[in-house]
Amino acid sequence: MRIPNTIRFILQSILLGLTAAAVILLIWPALSRHGGDSMDPGAAQTGSYSAAVNSAAPAVVNIYASKLLQPQINPLLQDPLLQRFFGLPQPAPNRRRDNNMGSGVIMNNAGYVLTNAHVIQGMDEIRITLNDGQQSAAEVVGIDADTDLAVLKVSLDNLPVIPIGNSDELHVGDVVLAIGNPYDFGQTVTQGIVSAKGRKRMGITTIEDFIQTDADINPGNSGGALITANGRLVGINTAIISNTGGSQGIGLATPVNLALNVMQQLIKNGYVIRGWLGIEVQVLSADARREIGLQQGGVLVAGVLKDGPADQAGVIPGDIILKVGGKAASNPQQVIEMISGLTPGAFEEILLLRGWEQITLNARIAERPQFTQ
């Protein structure tokens, strides 16, 4: 019997479709193995970040810091007359220690540990505990309050070192893991994504360029590691934005590229060398901007330190800074960071708007004074 062409076409189509389906089912496991996040093929294959954690976690330490609090004794109670009137002298109150805890990251074989300044600042005894249980006293190498970073030094052999990534290559949406010691539970890993980059004007530190993440960060995580899905350090967990003190899905980490520069300077100098002009700048109001016809950019000079670099160059309060060293001034925080990054001793052009006239001044950048920590 002869099969009509239409039916033959339908049968051929069905056979072709079944053959294609069989081929796809055969090769699908191979496709699955090679798909997913290119940053971590292992995670895509197993659905796990254990390889990343195993690579980074041994170099994340718990930090325990404390200081001895001297008892406050009312001087009146030391008066012999009052002591005789009220009886024998009262025993002095017992001294006690104020304790703080946080996390840190072992950055190299020399034993340098990066952490947050607020974890160890003002403390007189600092100890670290490694993930394998080893403990050691730690010495403070340097503190940089402007970025809330500090470097410690420990003397242990065969220290694990964390693999270091490049925070400039992070993208919003990348998977990240936070490792630290929340609430002194012991080492804990939480997972999230990069929610935003370059967060500024948070009021946390003087120099701000935070990575925002929704990986849970809680008290005790400060100074711990923010790593990629393949276990590379990209940030130092610094702060949480919270109404309760616990994680609400907004954590902030200092980018590792910024932290490395600070660490290197603290190791070399004991402090961070930054440029300084001796000015106070403020946001330019919308009314002032309209009056002078400035569409965007510009910051208002609110104060000038007498005999400081800006004063010597001729900057006066009321000037509007448009550019520093050829770079546009957009807001006060950005201007402070821009000046901090300039080399002390170098001359830089400052483009100002004074009244309705643009003028250019040459200022010699000074080294920022080291304020008491």
In Å, how far from its chain's centre is CA 28? Answer: 41
Positive or negative torsion for Cα 19, 20, 22, 27: positive
Cα–Cα distance between 130 and 126 in angstroms, integer? 13
SS (H, E, C) 208-258: CCEEEECCCCCCCCCCCEEEECCCCEEEEEEEECCCCCCCCCCEEEEEHHH
Told to judge if 144 belongs to the known catalytic residues of this protein, a careful annotator would answer no
Angle among Cα 167, 118, 242 to the nearest 5 degrees reads 75
Distance of CA 34 to the CA centre of its chain: 33
User: Is 171 an annotated catalytic residue?
Assistant: no
Go through 36-49 and write b for each residue having 16 or more CB atoms within 10 A of its CB, e for each that does not: eeebbebbbeeeeb
Specify whether 38 is catalytic. no
What's the one-letter identity of residue 153? Answer: K
Annotated catalytic residue within 40, 103, 118, 146: 118
User: Catalytic pick from 40, 146, 148, 174?
Assistant: 148
Cα distances (Å, whole numbers) of residue 281 to 1, 127, 231, 273, 320? 95, 41, 40, 21, 9
Coil/strand/helix, residue 26? helix
* Catalytic annotation, pick one of 222, 247, 319, 340: 222
The catalytic residue positions are 118, 148, 222
